[in-house]
């Protein structure tokens, strides 16, 4: 009876591996809730059991029926076209058959087990179990290679630690088969099968435990990203508000200055008038926006950063053109420009030599090109594919580049980061029209 239930369990384990395999290429449908998902997978398991039971003698018919059933269920569960679902499930079933054959060869060639022994009740079911565990390892590799959901948060070393569980399970079951063979009584068979079943359950629990941890880490990262975005946007809008207040004060003072100029001219004090106008001209150029891109938000950001950099002794070199009507939303412009220029200025402040920032924001045909190039003294640290912040509060900082990339990819854009000759270059190319194709 236990061997019979064990076989049913292996059918459901193969379906579980199929969900991991599909999850590497397609997104789950949000409208399918957890209960309905479980019911569909349970139904698929029962259908597969009936197919295996009644079509076991006709291999081709059995495989076709299994593929059609699996394709239909996974089409309902994932955001994928039916033809794509058919292609992926056929590929998955093909991989499962190859893995089973590979497992059979291992036992026959390496462990010198006879076909009769592997077809026995105890050794046969454990041989199939080893094959399903190899299949599990295969889909984990596929998920690591192709999935973009959470797997990038695990380092190669962490993935190696994760693999200890399935590898240990495989070697343990191989040891059971080669050590015991068919020389076991019914009680020993039940004991060993329960142990191996427990190993499968441990792998299943550990897999979802890791998934839950990764989801929580992703949520924490998104919260930190959002917090930094809010801080950058708040600082930027505060700067814009301050500039607006300054403009209002200048407008109020303008009538007094006009009155003073008129009085000097009326009284014929032309030397004093000339001196006053020169001082006012210098003050006018210091207080007037130096860059005009025909875009209010872009002007506010780069002019405020230019003024901030001027006070810190940083030289700005700008290349801009008419940016009226660009596709980017105001909040995304703030995220991209604030983070780019803040990072560049932070690096330049630490330089003992030249402090130069080259900034480019131009509209070229159907694309936007945004780029910064700045000198640096200490190169930024790259850890697990991410640049680390040099600020003390690393929990609340260090997400600037991630925010830039996220905002760029939101519009289907691309980015490039280069470091050469003590210069850090960050270049973005974003389609300015929905149908624009990046070359």
Q: Are 392 and 308 contacting, i.e. CB atoms less than 8 angstroms apart?
A: no
Burial status of residue 131 (CB atoms within 10 A of its CB: 0-12, 13-18, 19 or more): buried
Tell me how far apart the alpha carbons of residues 156 and 152 are, in angstroms, rounded to a whole number. 9
- 153 alpha carbon, distance to own chain's centre: 8
Q: Is the dihedral of CA 9, 14, 17, 22 positive or negative?
A: negative
Residues of the chain with CATH 3.30.565.10: 294-439
Question: What is the phi/psi pair of residue 10, to 5°?
Answer: -65, -30
Q: Are 386 and 402 contacting, i.e. CB atoms less than 8 angstroms apart?
A: yes
Tell me how far apart the alpha carbons of residues 148 and 236 are, in angstroms, rounded to a whole number. 32
pLDDT tens across the length of the chain (439 residues): 677 788 888 889 999 999 989 988 888 888 888 889 899 999 999 998 899 888 878 888 888 999 999 999 999 999 889 999 999 999 999 999 999 888 888 887 776 666 666 666 677 788 888 889 999 999 988 888 887 665 556 667 777 777 888 888 888 888 887 776 666 677 777 788 888 888 889 988 988 888 888 888 777 777 776 776 676 666 666 666 666 666 666 666 666 667 777 777 777 777 776 776 676 665 555 555 578 888 888 888 888 888 888 888 899 999 999 998 898 888 888 888 888 998 898 888 888 878 899 999 999 888 999 999 998 877 655 444 455 444 444 443 345 788 888 889 889 899 999 888 788 999 999 998 765 544 4
Tell me how far apart the alpha carbons of residues 340 and 334 are, in angstroms, rounded to a whole number. 10
Q: Are 136 and 203 contacting, i.e. CB atoms less than 8 angstroms apart?
A: yes
Tell me how far apart the alpha carbons of residues 195 and 197 are, in angstroms, rounded to a whole number. 5
Tell me how far apart the alpha carbons of residues 227 and 396 are, in angstroms, rounded to a whole number. 7
Q: Please state which architecture CATH assigns to domain 294-439.
A: 2-Layer Sandwich (3.30)
Strand 367-375 to strand 423-431: parallel, antiparallel, or no bridges (unpaired)?
antiparallel
Tell me how far apart the alpha carbons of residues 289 and 166 are, in angstroms, rounded to a whole number. 63
Lookup result for tokens 């991630």: 402
Cα separations in angstroms, 351 against 37, 128, 202, 229, 345: 57, 64, 54, 26, 10
Q: Are 200 and 135 contacting, i.e. CB atoms less than 8 angstroms apart?
A: no
Q: Is the dihedral of CA 191, 192, 195, 197 positive or negative?
A: negative
Q: Are 420 and 376 contacting, i.e. CB atoms less than 8 angstroms apart?
A: no
């Amino acid at each position: 009876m236990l061997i019979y239930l064990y076989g049913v369990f292996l059918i459901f384990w193969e379906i579980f591996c199929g969900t991991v395999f599909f999850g590497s290429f397609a997104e789950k449908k949000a409208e399918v809730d957890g209960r309905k998902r479980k019911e569909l997978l349970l139904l698929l398991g029962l259908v597969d059991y009936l197919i295996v039971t009644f079509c076991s003698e006709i291999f081709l018919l059995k495989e076709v029926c299994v593929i059609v059933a699996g394709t239909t269920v996974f089409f309902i569960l994932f955001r994928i076209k039916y033809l794509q679902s058919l292609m992926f499930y056929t590929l998955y079933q093909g991989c499962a058959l190859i893995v089973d054959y590979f497992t059979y060869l291992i036992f026959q060639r390496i462990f010198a087990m006879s076909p009769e022994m592997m077809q026995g009740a105890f050794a046969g079911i454990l041989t199939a179990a080893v094959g399903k565990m190899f299949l599990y390892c295969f889909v984990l590799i596929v998920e690591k290679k192709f999935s973009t959901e959470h797997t990038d948060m695990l380092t190669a070393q962490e993935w190696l630690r994760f693999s200890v569980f399935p590898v240990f399970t495989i070697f343990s079951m191989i040891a059971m088969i080669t050590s015991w063979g068919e020389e076991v009584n019914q009680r020993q068979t039940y004991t060993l099968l329960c142990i191996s079943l427990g190993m499968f359950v441990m792998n299943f629990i550990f897999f979802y435990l890791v998934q839950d941890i990764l989801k929580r880490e992703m949520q924490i990262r998104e919260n930190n990203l959002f917090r930094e975005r809010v801080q950058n946007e708040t600082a930027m809008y505060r700067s814009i508000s301050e500039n607006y207040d300054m403009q209002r004060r200048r407008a109020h003072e303008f009538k007094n200055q006009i009155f003073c100029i008129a009085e000097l001219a009326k009284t014929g004090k032309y030397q004093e008038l000339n001196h006053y106008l020169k001082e006012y001209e210098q003050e006018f150029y210091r207080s007037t926006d130096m860059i005009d891109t025909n875009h209010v938000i872009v002007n506010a950001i780069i002019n405020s950063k230019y003024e901030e950099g001027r006070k810190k002794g940083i030289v700005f070199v700008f290349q801009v053109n008419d940016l009226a009507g660009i596709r980017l939303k105001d909040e995304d412009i703030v995220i991209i420009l604030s983070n780019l220029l803040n990072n560049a200025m932070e690096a330049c402040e630490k330089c003992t030599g030249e402090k130069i920032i080259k900034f480019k924001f131009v509209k070229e045909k159907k694309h936007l090109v945004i780029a910064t190039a700045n000198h640096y003294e200490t190169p930024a640290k790259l850890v697990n594919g991410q640049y680390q912040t040099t600020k003390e509060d690393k929990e609340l900082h260090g997400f600037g580049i991630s925010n830039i990339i996220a905002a760029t990819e939101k519009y289907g854009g691309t980015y490039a980061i280069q470091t050469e000759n003590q210069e850090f270059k960050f270049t973005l190319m974003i389609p300015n029209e929905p149908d624009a194709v990046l070359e």
